[in-house]
């Protein structure tokens, strides 16, 4: 079965960096786009970034553009989110999600990893 | 930027009742790229509906959805205790590419 397991969250000071990972299994990873979606405490869902199946395309939400970098290693079935210059407003649960190219939705989600940006 | 507005913010109903949730887009988004998700406390969202009206794998047939253009509806015909959750609509378009509505909380009356 499809499994997505995030890791790497924690408490970090404003201005610092953090890297999140998502381990994928149960499907052919290198045929799917992958996304990061976040949810601030008590708030709704916010799409963060997407990377195409072949790494050729990456897109970001304006709120993270220039600070966050999405990447993947298809040989390891792994997705990453490199977060630089973190701000308090980046505090959220970060989910990785599998994207369906033709339907542009998110059909499987990980359980999430909490990032807290605080001094 | 396309904004999705969900209503009501909170819906209070009893098990067995019918729930109707609305999602309105600020611009015409067709119907191909409108999805609905269910999220329970402490859990990840779960895909319920894709393409505005198609149920995802394993979703009970008491969930149905419709709409196109700017107005979309999610209907739960007879509420079960496990249906009380927060529901989000989501669309795909030009930048910022993917957006979600603010959510409707369906709570037990």
Write the pLDDT tens digit of every residue in A46-80. 999 999 999 999 999 999 999 999 999 999 999 99
Nearest CA in chain A to B51: A103
Question: Which chain A residues contact residue B96 at CB under 8 A?
Answer: 47, 61-62
Helix (H, G, I), strand (E, B) or coil at A98: strand
**A39 CB-near residues (< 8 Å, 6+ apart):** A45, A46, A92, A93, A95, A112
pLDDT band at A103 (very low <50, low <70, confident <90, very high): confident
Rounded to whole angstroms, how far apart are CA atoms B83 and B38?
Answer: 8
Give which of B38, B4, B8, B25 is closest to B68, Cα–Cα.
B25
Please give the residue of chain B at the shortest CA–CA distance from A4.
B44
């Amino acid at each position: 079965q499809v499994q997505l397991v995030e890791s790497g969250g924690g408490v970090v000071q404003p201005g610092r960096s953090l890297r999140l990972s998502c381990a994928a299994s149960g499907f052919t990873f290198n045929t799917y786009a992958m996304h990061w979606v976040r949810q601030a405490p008590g708030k709704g869902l916010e799409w963060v970034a997407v990377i195409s199946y072949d790494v050729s395309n990456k897109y970001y939400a304006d709120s993270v553009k220039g600070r966050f970098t999405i990447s993947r290693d298809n040989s390891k079935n792994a997705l990453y989110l490199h977060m630089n210059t973190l701000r308090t407003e980046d505090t959220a649960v970060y989910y990785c999600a599998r994207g369906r190219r033709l339907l542009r939705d998110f059909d499987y989600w990980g359980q999430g990893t909490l990032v807290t940006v605080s001094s | 930027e396309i904004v999705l507005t969900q209503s009501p913010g909170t819906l209070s109903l009893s098990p067995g009742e019918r729930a109707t949730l609305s999602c309105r887009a600020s611009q015409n988004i067709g119907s191909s790229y409108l999805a609905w998700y269910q999220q329970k406390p402490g859990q990840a969202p779960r895909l319920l509906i894709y393409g505005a009206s198609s149920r995802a794998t394993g979703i009970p047939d008491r969930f149905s959805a419709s709409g196109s253009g700017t107005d979309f509806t999610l209907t739960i015909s007879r509420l079960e205790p496990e249906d009380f959750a927060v529901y989000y609509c989501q669309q795909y378009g030009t930048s910022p590419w993917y957006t979600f509505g603010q959510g409707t909380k369906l709570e037990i009356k």
